[in-house]
Amino acid sequence: MSLKKKLLLLLTLLFLLFFVNVAFVHILESKSEDKLLWVNHTHQVLSTSDKLLISLADAETGQRGYLLTNDKHYLEPYLRAIKVTEDLLFELKRLTADNPKQQTLLKALEIDIDKKCAELKQSIDLFETDSTAALQLVSSDVGKQYMDNIRWYLLSFSSEENRLLEKRKGDYREVRAYISTIIIIEVLVMLFLAVFTFTIINKNLFEPLLKLIMVTKKMEKGAPCVRLLVASNFH
């Protein structure tokens, strides 16, 4: 095979490997971004569940403040917290719509949240007509039982999300490791092809040229004419 054909073959191989590698890395990068999105999604779910518990605690704080002081300013944070609780519960349902297990848990959670919100409203409404009865309702620990149930559901919910988070982090790290491995292999292959190409060029071009130069110098010095075996190296 002539030098020209060998170089053409090597260049074709290099370009082919380059485009295949670019396509493969692009696919892996897309998968990596997808895995990272799921990791971020799980963080968002966990953050929303934490905010939900806080908003319920804020609603309870507003209710207690009003019952203890009869100051209607405490009803503002109570009403705001109730609205935030509804929004956060809706957001949790939306974020976990792809997870039947979590959806089932949220349905049970919603029942106790509704009961807790109803208990808070009942005590506030009752306080307007019978403050003693309202305080007795609060001290009955009915609301505490609802909050204990809510905390248990949210703990179970968060435990499942944390399990998913670790799995998704592992999937993301695995894809990134694949990408790093592909890049290392690419560098090694490119180095090998570069050395191989240099060897081919050196053997088929530079060595014959050096021989030709040496023979030419000998002829210039009046050395006996010898056959130029070099010519065969250019075929």
Judge contact between 78 and 62, C-beta under 8 A: yes
Structural domains in the chain (count): 1
**pTM check: above 0.85:** no
* 217 part of a folded domain: no
Mean pLDDT of 114-141: 86
* 10 part of a folded domain: no
Q: What's the CATH number where 167 sits?
A: 1.20.120.30
Q: Distance between CA atoms of 136 and 123, rounded to whole angstroms?
A: 9
Domain extent at residue 126: 24-188
* 94 part of a folded domain: yes
Q: Kindly report which listed range (45-59, 104-118, 178-192, 206-220) carries the lowest average pLDDT score.
A: 206-220
> How many DSSP H helices and E strands does the chain contain?
6, 0
Given this model, what pLDDT does residue 206 score? 63
Given this model, what pLDDT does residue 27 score? 79
Model confidence at 101: pLDDT above 60: yes
* 149 part of a folded domain: yes
Token pair of 71, please?
A: 């100051």
* 220 part of a folded domain: no
Q: What sign does the dihedral 3-9-12-14 (CA atoms) show? A: negative
* 202 part of a folded domain: no
Token pair of 175, please?
A: 């894809």
Q: Distance between CA atoms of 231 and 235, rounded to whole angstroms?
A: 7
* 4 part of a folded domain: no
* 227 part of a folded domain: no
Q: Distance between CA atoms of 127 and 69, rounded to whole angstroms?
A: 11
Range among 110-124, 175-189, 206-220 with highest mean pLDDT value = 110-124
